[in-house]
Structure 1
Amino acid sequence: MVDAVVIGGGPGGYVCAIRIAQLGKSVALVEKENLGGTCTNWGCIPTKAMLTSAHLYTEIDEKSKRLGIDTSGLGYDLKRIMSHMNRTITMSRKGIEHLLKKNGVDFYNDVAEIKDAGHVLLKNHGKTLETRNIVIAAGSEPSIFKPFSEIEGIWTSNDVFQMEEMPESLVIVGGGVIGVEFATFFSSFGVKTTIIELADHILPYEDRDVADDIRKSLTRQGVEIIERTKVTEVEKDECIFVLNAEGEQELSVQAEKVLVAVGRRPYITEDVRKLGLEIERGVVTNSRMQTNIKGIYAIGDIRAGMMLAHVASYEGIVAAHNIAGEVMEMDYSAVPSIIFSNPEVGSTGIKEDDVEDMERVIIAKFPLSANGRARTVLENTGFVKVIADKENGKVLGMSIVSPSATELIMEGVIAVRNGLTVEELENSIHPHPTLSETVLGALEGVNGMSIHI
């Protein structure tokens, strides 16, 4: 008998298992494929490894002459880019394996089948684990549907990580985070790239001004962006895909490859469905990550909530503490959303587009072009936007478009999560010259006292 069996070794599952062990409870982790789940093997880690190469290539290509550096003969080697990606994945997997051993987690590389709330069958071992609690962290899989599912050779994000040569042209269906990041990668190396997005603008979960700056950047990179348009038909003519679409006007687009990047769906197996769990789009839980069946928890993408690795990890922490007998609840008020475009995007808290009563808030923006550090690195596209409560001065939301926005946004996360005021952040001395001073500039702007614009 163990205190918990965690099913799924992704960023939710392995973090949950380690924390359960750290809290003095016995725990087994079951993963049917590779440790790290989607994030390590088919998502965050490989994408960012590839984008590191793309960002570096773009930096050298666009800035070297102005910075006095001779880089004649600049080129790239896809095999080495993919080799770097694969090394990064392997190192991450091994790191997780080491952490499991270090913390005394029993790991089974096997297919788990939940028999009931107290028993999990390891199908390959032929062994049944008896447990007091089960944590389901089975993750998600790429969404693909008609007409794309009926055509051979259509890529999902998983297929990109196995490519052996760069296509000459690519259509990306979906202009969300996944689509924009892949458009950034491929266009950096000269691939003729087109994004087709159904919503009013790319990055539909970010504010329009954020999307506008990323659209401008991608357009300068040669990406064609078609918004408010739905693909209705896909045909394959020898080595070329032909996509027919309709929106404000009908159009036809051709490309060597098509990548469907419209998001992911929860991976819910038949044994999970048979348990009698409440399932809507994903498995339903309360704020303690408990399902409607006592002793069974669900975390991460299988909940179909915020499908982010860092959210899954923290949900795993919450589940672990509740399993250990403590009371801990999830707080989604300050979840950071990050995009490794060029420039990067980071946001947290409320968005301007979601503000219902504009009279209750103050919104201030500070342009990247007014920042000294940005000028030294030849960057001028982007801004920091702060949304504050007019009455008490608390920071309610922040959006950043900038190099290193994925790092800079943490100041906003801490402010929103802890109810800090604009004054409290503004009175914290920001180092000079740094990009973090763009945050300071936006904070000063809340009270109409920006120094540098």
Structure 2
Amino acid sequence: IRFVDRQDGLEKIENFDYVLAATGRNPNVKDLGLWNTTLELDSTGVPIFDPFTMQCGDSSIFIAGDANNVLTLLHEAADEGLIAGENAGCFPNMKQGLRRSPLSIVFSDPQIAMVGQAWAELEGHENVVVGKISFEGQGRSRVMLKNKGLMHLYADRESGLFLGSEFIGPHAEHLAHLLSWAHQQKMSIPQMLEMPFYHPVIEEGLRTGLKDVNLQLNL
């Protein structure tokens, strides 16, 4: 593979047995001639649009899915397509569509998941507290021989509102869905702790992390 090393800026050639190509992709809009329109375009040539109506500027043009290059995920594309289609059909009588809590999952082993706001968005905010749970000592994870991973949970110190989570660990896809539902319902950490937790399950690890957050709240 020929590549440019970001650390020293030099072009290098190396041999590998396997390659995981996760370099991203660009929306295929360059041949649409959008520069001939009055639409305002971003640096990649994609029209500036309203994420709640999918309308490009003040025009009758709507953009959805991978074409807008924001959240290139199937469930997001389906939502955007519905919003764009309904508003295009009703134009100019548009309405804002439902946008769900951010949810991303990487199907690796162990799995990786992100829900709600990421630490990159929250870092530096003095009212944000972080709860942590290692899966190394989590009971069910140990029995399954899958006790590897770490979870961070973010909440507002004053209101207790659950803000988001980032983690790597066993069955992260299922934990991520529980957390995304709580995030979309705007639940607080105490409210989440009122939910049932069976024994022995991996979700008990989530409860441990929620308790860690709860101890840091000013409630």
TM-score relative to the length of structure 1: 0.42
Instruction: Report the counterpart of residue 394 of structure 1 in structure 2.
Output: 161
Given that 2:190 and 2:214 are in contact with CA atoms closer than 8 Å, whether structure 1 keeps it comes out as no
Cα deviations across residues 200-224 of structure 1 (Å, max 9, x unaligned)? xxxxxxxxxxxxxxxxxxxxxxxxx
Q: Would the alpha carbon gap of residues 415 and 254 (structure 1) be closer, same or farther in structure 2, given more than 3 Å must change?
A: same
Instruction: Report the counterpart of residue 278 of structure 1 in structure 2.
Output: 40
Supply the distance in 2 between the matched residues of 1:231 and 1:400 (Cα, whole angstroms).
34
Structure 1: runs of 5+ lacking an equivalent? 1-146, 149-172, 174-195, 199-227, 234-242, 244-252
1:313 to 78, 88, 91: 78
- Which letter does structure 2 place at the counterpart of 1:370? G
- Which letter does structure 2 place at the counterpart of 1:271? L
Given that 1:283 and 1:302 are in contact with CA atoms closer than 8 Å, whether structure 2 keeps it comes out as no
SS of residue paired to 1:388: strand
SS of residue paired to 2:160: coil
- Which letter does structure 2 place at the counterpart of 1:255? F
Structure 2: runs of 5+ lacking an equivalent? none
Q: Would the alpha carbon gap of residues 231 and 409 (structure 1) be closer, same or farther in structure 2, given more than 3 Å must change?
A: farther
Report the CA distance between 1:259 and its aligned residue: 5.9
Instruction: Report the counterpart of residue 327 of structure 1 in structure 2.
Output: 95
Given that 2:147 and 2:170 are in contact with CA atoms closer than 8 Å, whether structure 1 keeps it comes out as no
Please tell me the root mean square deviation across aligned C-alpha atoms, in Å. Answer: 2.8
Report the CA distance between 1:231 and its aligned residue: 6.0
Supply the distance in 2 between the matched residues of 1:439 and 1:259 (Cα, whole angstroms).
31
Supply the distance in 1 between the matched residues of 2:126 and 2:17 (Cα, whole angstroms).
50
Instruction: Report the counterpart of residue 103 of structure 2 in structure 1.
Output: 336
Given that 1:426 and 1:440 are in contact with CA atoms closer than 8 Å, whether structure 2 keeps it comes out as yes
Instruction: Report the counterpart of residue 69 of structure 2 in structure 1.
Output: 304
Supply the distance in 2 between the matched residues of 1:369 and 1:259 (Cα, whole angstroms).
27
Report the CA distance between 1:269 and its aligned residue: 4.5
Please identify which structure carries the higher helix content. 1
| 1:165-314 → structure 2 map (5 Å cutoff) | 198=6, 228=7, 232-233=11-12, 243=13, 253-255=14-16, 260-273=21-34, 276=37, 277-280=39-42, 281=44, 282-286=46-50, 287-292=52-57, 294-314=59-79
Work out the number of aligned pairs and report it: 209
Report the CA distance between 1:381 and its aligned residue: 1.1
Q: Would the alpha carbon gap of residues 269 and 330 (structure 1) be closer, same or farther in structure 2, given more than 3 Å must change?
A: farther
Q: Would the alpha carbon gap of residues 197 and 366 (structure 1) be closer, same or farther in structure 2, given more than 3 Å must change?
A: farther
| 1:43-442 → structure 2 map (5 Å cutoff) | 198=6, 228=7, 232-233=11-12, 243=13, 253-255=14-16, 260-273=21-34, 276=37, 277-280=39-42, 281=44, 282-286=46-50, 287-292=52-57, 294-325=59-90, 327-329=95-97, 331=99, 334-442=101-209
Report the CA distance between 1:329 and its aligned residue: 3.6
Given that 1:288 and 1:330 are in contact with CA atoms closer than 8 Å, whether structure 2 keeps it comes out as no
Q: Would the alpha carbon gap of residues 271 and 355 (structure 1) be closer, same or farther in structure 2, given more than 3 Å must change?
A: closer
Supply the distance in 1 between the matched residues of 2:81 and 2:30 (Cα, whole angstroms).
20
Larger Rg: 1
SS of residue paired to 2:192: helix
- Which letter does structure 1 place at the counterpart of 2:180? V
Report the CA distance between 1:296 and its aligned residue: 1.8
- Which letter does structure 2 place at the counterpart of 1:278? E
Report the CA distance between 1:258 and its aligned residue: 5.7
Deviates more, 1:361-370 or 1:305-314: 305-314
Please identify which structure carries the higher strand content. 1
Cα deviations across residues 95-152 of structure 1 (Å, max 9, x unaligned)? xxxxxxxxxxxxxxxxxxxxxxxxxxxxxxxxxxxxxxxxxxxxxxxxxxxx95xxxx
Report the CA distance between 1:361 and its aligned residue: 1.4
Q: Would the alpha carbon gap of residues 362 and 259 (structure 1) be closer, same or farther in structure 2, given more than 3 Å must change?
A: closer
Give me the identity figure in percent: 25
Report the CA distance between 1:293 and its aligned residue: 6.1
Given that 1:283 and 1:291 are in contact with CA atoms closer than 8 Å, whether structure 2 keeps it comes out as yes
Given that 1:350 and 1:397 are in contact with CA atoms closer than 8 Å, whether structure 2 keeps it comes out as yes
Supply the distance in 2 between the matched residues of 1:264 and 1:322 (Cα, whole angstroms).
27
Given that 2:79 and 2:99 are in contact with CA atoms closer than 8 Å, whether structure 1 keeps it comes out as no
